[in-house]
C-alpha cells in the first residue's frame, strides 16, 4: 500500500509512519498535511485514543462545549477515547501534524484509504463526504468513529445497519480490495 495518500477534493495528505500491522496493533502513527481552512467536524472514537502533535505551523483542536486549543510546533494534546474532538488549520498556510492512535487501528487506516479513494473517483461531495450512504456506513464501521448531536444519534442505527449489510453483501470487501492495496 502507498505510504502517502492525498485527497484531491480537500487537498489533505496523510503519510502512514507506522501502521497497526507493523506495530502489532500497538500504535497507528500518521503525519497529516492540512490546507488553510481544512479540518474535520467534532467526532469521537469508540476504542482508541489520539495524541495530536503540531509539527509545522499551528494546529487547532476543537473540544466539547465549544472549547478550542491551538498547538504550536512541538506541542501535543492527548484525546481519550470517547472524548469529542476535531482538528483544523487556523492559519493561512499549509500545516503538518502527527496523530498517534493507541492502540493502533487497521480499520481506521482502511477508512482513510477508502475515503481518499472515493474522493479521487468523484464519489464524495465538496467537503469529501461520501455521496453514497453505504460507503459512509462502511467508513464509520471500519473507523469506529461517531459524531455527536441529535441528528447523528438518530441516524446512527441506520448507518450501522447499512454497515452490517455492506459487510454481509461484500461491498465492504470490494471497497477494501479496490482502495486498500
Where would I find the H helices in the chain?
Answer: 106-120, 133-143, 150-168, 171-179
Q: For residue 105, what pLDDT is reported?
A: 98
Q: For residue 68, what pLDDT is reported?
A: 95
Give yes or no: residues 117 and 91 share one domain.
no
Give yes or no: residues 95 and 119 share one domain.
no
pLDDT < 50: residue spans in the chain: none
Q: For residue 70, what pLDDT is reported?
A: 98
Give yes or no: residues 91 and 116 share one domain.
no
Give yes or no: residues 63 and 83 share one domain.
yes
Domain housing 146: 109-179
Give yes or no: residues 175 and 113 share one domain.
yes
CATH of residue 79's domain is 2.60.120.10
Give yes or no: residues 85 and 22 share one domain.
yes
Last residue of a domain, one of 39, 69, 102: 102
Give yes or no: residues 71 and 132 share one domain.
no
Give yes or no: residues 144 and 172 share one domain.
yes
Last residue of a domain, one of 75, 102, 129: 102
The count of structural domains within the chain is: 2
Distance CA 48, CA 100 (A): 10
Q: For residue 148, what pLDDT is reported?
A: 86
Give yes or no: residues 95 and 13 share one domain.
yes
Per-residue pLDDT tens digits for 28-52: 999 999 999 999 999 999 999 999 9
Last residue of a domain, one of 81, 102, 123: 102
Give yes or no: residues 39 and 77 share one domain.
yes
Give yes or no: residues 130 and 171 share one domain.
yes
Give yes or no: residues 74 and 127 share one domain.
no
Distance CA 107, CA 150 (A): 25
| CA distances in angstroms from 38 to 35, 59, 90, listed in the order given | 5, 11, 8
Amino acid at each position: 500500500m502507498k505510504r502517502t495518500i492525498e485527497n484531491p477534493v480537500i487537498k489533505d495528505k496523510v503519510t502512514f509512519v507506522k501502521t497497526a500491522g507493523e506495530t502489532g496493533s500497538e500504535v497507528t502513527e500518521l503525519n497529516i498535511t492540512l490546507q488553510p481552512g481544512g479540518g474535520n467536524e467534532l467526532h469521537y472514537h469508540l476504542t482508541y485514543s489520539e495524541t495530536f502533535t503540531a509539527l509545522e505551523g499551528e494546529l487547532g483542536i476543537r473540544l466539547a462545549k465549544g472549547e478550542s486549543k491551538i498547538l504550536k510546533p512541538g506541542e501535543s494534546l492527548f484525546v481519550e477515547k470517547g472524548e469529542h474532538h476535531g482538528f483544523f488549520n487556523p492559519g493561512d498556510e499549509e500545516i503538518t501534524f502527527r496523530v498517534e492512535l493507541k492502540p493502533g487501528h487497521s480499520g481506521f487506516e482502511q477508512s482513510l484509504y477508502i475515503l481518499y479513494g472515493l474522493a479521487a473517483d468523484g464519489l464524495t461531495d465538496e467537503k469529501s463526504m461520501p455521496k453514497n450512504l453505504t460507503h459512509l456506513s462502511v467508513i464509520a464501521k471500519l473507523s469506529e468513529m461517531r459524531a455527536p448531536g441529535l441528528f447523528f444519534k438518530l441516524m446512527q442505527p441506520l448507518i450501522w445497519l447499512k454497515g452490517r449489510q455492506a459487510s454481509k453483501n461484500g461491498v465492504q470487501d470490494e471497497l477494501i480490495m479496490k482502495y486498500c492495496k
